[in-house]
Amino acid sequence: MPEAHGRACAGSAPLPRRVGRLPSALAALLAGIGASLAGAETREAAPLRVLAAASLTEVVEALAGRFEGARVEASFGASSALARQIRDGAPADVFLSASPEWIGFLREAGELSGEPIVLARNRLVCIAPQRSPLAAGAVRDPRTLLAAIGPEGGVAIADEGVPAGEYARRALRNLGVFDAFEPHLVGQRDVRAVLHAVERGELPAGFAYASDARIAAVEVLFAFDPATHPPIEYQAAVLRNARRPVEARRFLQHLRGEAARAILAGAGFALF
């Protein structure tokens, strides 16, 4: 009997080991399902990442609040800087540029998904702080501005490559006054930096967009003739590496809607 009992025990010994493997396998399966669900939930909760020209800050923030289906996470800066960041791998779903040039830059780099859309246009203006002597005087064009600021006066302009700065440089060259202005030009990282430098009185004048002049304590001295520079055209595009491409395309449609057009017009942009 002891021997029989011993054999029975020996024969049944593997059973607990087989049963013991089932919970481990089940746990692994459940863990895999849980990880998949967690990943899906993370993707669903991921924001729609929008990189936009600084001059579109208030417009994009207003439109983001009206967009349904995804939380919009927007970052703003010079179109040139943002386009280079996208080319270098910065995560983004949608790009809004103040110049077709930087949309073309990303197209050549293979970073676009589909064709861009045209949002609006803008005007290039010269601004001065409120109640400044320039605003009270007879400054009505670049030549009279140059005479008014004197030999030591500075003029804020967006850095080279930044659309607002490039439009202004092109206009000054076409008017034949760039060489005279060059010693007075003080570069700024983007058009909003120009706006703030003039508003705070750090510089007596600056070149900005008409839409920017509406949101700060500045006065418009004059507007450049649109024929002196390329059209200031804003474009938007879905990016190739968009994490949420469906929502990105929906956001472009949102930018074309009546609510977006009303917000753009109210902010001083020209509509098509």
Residue 201 CA, distance from chain mean position: 27
pLDDT at position 216 is 94
| Spatial CA neighbour of 164 closest among 104, 77, 237, 263 | 77
Domain ranges of the chain: 2-44, 46-121+233-266, 124-228
Query: Are 46-121+233-266 and 124-228 equal in CATH topology?
Result: yes
3-state helix, strand, coil in the chain (%, to 5): 50, 20, 30
Helix axes 245-255, 57-66, angle to 10 degrees: 110
| Spatial CA neighbour of 171 closest among 143, 204, 203 | 143
pLDDT at position 135 is 84
Structure tokens given for 267: 């902010």
Give the residues across from 119 on adjacent strands. none
What architecture is domain 46-121+233-266?
3-Layer(aba) Sandwich (3.40)
pLDDT at position 44 is 55
Burial 118-127 (b: 16+ CB within 10 A, else e): ebbebbbbbb
Q: How far apart are CA 260 and CA 60, in angstroms?
A: 9
Residue 268 CA, distance from chain mean position: 18
Q: In a 10 Å sphere around its CB, with 0-12 CB exposed, 13-18 middle and 19+ buried, how is residue 174 labelled?
A: middle
The verdict on pTM exceeding 0.75 is yes
Q: Can you tell me which residue has the tokens 């924001």?
A: 47
- Local mean pLDDT, 10-residue blocks, the chain (272 residues): 38 42 48 46 74 97 94 97 98 98 98 97 97 88 96 96 98 98 98 97 97 96 97 98 97 95 96 85
Q: Identify the CATH assignment for 124-228 out of 3.30.1280.10, 3.30.70.1560, 3.20.20.70, 3.40.190.10.
A: 3.40.190.10
Q: Are 230 and 168 in contact (CB under 8 A)?
A: no
Q: Can you tell me which residue has the tokens 């009279």?
A: 144
